[in-house]
Amino acid sequence: MKAKYLNVKWQKSMRLRMDYNNMTDEFVGSKQGISAAEIRAKKDLAATAFSRVQEKRGTGMMGWTELPYNQKDVVADILATAKDIKKNFDYFVVLGIGGSALGPIAVMQALNHLHYNDLPKAKRKGPKFYVEDNVDPERMKALLDVIDVKKTMFNVITKSGSTSETMSQYLIVYDILKKELGDKAKDHIIATTSESKGNLIKLAKAEGFKTFYIPDGVGGRFSELCPVGLLPAAATGIDIKQMLAGAAFMDKLCKEKNYKKNPALMSAVLSYISMQKGKNISVMMPYADSLRYMSDWYCQLWAESLGKADDFNGNKVYAGQTPVKALGVTDQHSQVQLYREGPFDKVVTFLAVDDYRESVKIADGCKDIPDVNFLCGHTMNELIQAERVATEYALTVSQRLNRTIYLPEVNAFTVGELLYFYEMETAFCGEMLEIDTFNQPGVEAGKNATYALLGRKGYEQTKAEMESAKAKKEEFIC
């Protein structure tokens, strides 16, 4: 039987919608809002960005555009491997950082039970799942306290194959595995890395690890739809074919030339104009716990891709917009005060869900307290929707730019759409800003300084430069 997500009618019913009324001058006033004339004035810029992205598709660092289409064999291998993992392991641990960790975390949170690891085995669709995306010693120790390495599959993910954080996690874990399991240790590691460069691939070949490849044209933060994200997702029972179908569906929408009908292109135009108007902060505020880590994933994508000192021509532009994560309704009681009354420097994007996967009725009670009793008979679903609409209204009447992206449901298809939408918006926006969206020289500088501090060969010069830097003054420490 044909899978539901391949049905065209169903796909259309799952289409993401972007409502940007509240970014326009008609709704937030002419002082802050974007006028129709301002949008029209960006028609040529949008057309140029569109054709550049079309030209670059599938080439250079835009290999990620083809991921929804070119992974048939890889997906088959991932599904077979996932089946094996589910059968033989109780824990699945991702060792990675940045683009090699944030996508798997976001998708896991979005598509599995919100207390997945706490469910009894029979109710989980796979092993318990952890992502070790830091090098905090307490965190590493805590992980080792709750897993049994003999029943754990570790997925080491690093595109470059040499990131210090990931490689240190790997060294620690593989040492323990070898002590516990001897020759069988290698069967507990899957390496996801570049086929052609880096140290992990050499180690994988030498040790005999099962390996998945990150294609050359797929950078860390654009890698969720390749084995980086697909293997962890599949291992925990997520329908990765559906996720890729959602991405393909969004890709089709993003191939529309007319910028007003192309959601990612229109979104990039609005982001670009917002930046020009001094809205230097982009807040992502999902009204769904399932989408809360989408904000972390988005923050990396937006910050690392667009935060650039130089443009294509070598001019200093210091481009970018600071992404901030928030959660509805939780942050209504924390950050929204600032969003409503602080500086006019933000655009807030709400992620709304039409149909939550659960419905919870608010029980009857407090009959003598009308200020509480009014809640009775409603559902939590109604409450969260009302709070989102109310926050949207409150920001709008305070002339704060905001927009809403609606997901009809949170499922593998819509999550695939959402990931691809943001990747495309980022690519379009990078072209408009005339910057290299796909490099990260600022991150590399920090990586190199770490290598120098820890004595890596070849970084002596950096170490010398760091040592000759101005010494800190006691008087500025209190």
What residues make contact with ligand PA5 under the rule CB under 6 A?
97-100, 158-160, 163, 166, 219-221, 304, 440, 443
Q: How far is the CB of 97 from ligand PA5 (least distance, A)?
A: 5
Q: Which is nearer to ligand PA5, 164 or 399 (CB)?
A: 164
302, burial (CB in 10 Å: exposed 0-12, middle 13-18, buried 19+): buried
Nearest residue (CB) to ligand PA5, 221 versus 400: 221
Query: Closest distance between ligand PA5 and the C-beta of residue 31, in Å?
Result: 37
- Please report where in the chains the tokens 């550049």 appear, as a residue: 52
Structure tokens at 177: 């595995």
Let me know if 447 is a catalytic residue: yes
Q: Alpha-carbon distance 188 to 86, whole Å?
A: 13
Nearer to ligand PA5, 63 or 219 (CB): 219
Residue nearest to ligand PA5 (CB): 220
Q: Is 333 a catalytic residue?
A: yes
Annotated catalytic residue within 132, 165, 224, 304: 304
Rounded to 5°, the CA angle 195-201-204 comes to 130
| Residue 134 Cβ vs ligand PA5, minimum distance, rounded to whole Å | 12
Q: How far apart are CA 328 and CA 330, in angstroms?
A: 5
- Cα–Cα–Cα angle for 215, 305, 445, nearest 5°? 90
Give the residue with the Cβ less far from ligand PA5, 117 or 211.
211
Tell me, yes or no, if 205 is annotated catalytic: no
- The answer to whether residues 194 and 186 touch, using CB atoms and an 8 Å cutoff, is no
If the CB atoms of residues 237 and 307 are measured against ligand PA5, the closer one turns out to be 307
Closest contact distance (angstroms) between CB of 444 and ligand PA5 is 9
Q: Which of 2, 115, 333, 470 is labelled catalytic? A: 333
Minimum distance, C-beta of residue 57 to ligand PA5, in the bound complex (Å): 19
Residues whose CB falls within 8 Å of the CB of residue 301, separated by 6 or more in sequence, listed in order: 221, 222, 422, 423, 426
Residue 11 or 223 having the CB closest to ligand PA5: 223
Q: How far is the CB of 159 from ligand PA5 (least distance, A)?
A: 4
User: Known catalytic residues?
Assistant: 304, 333, 447
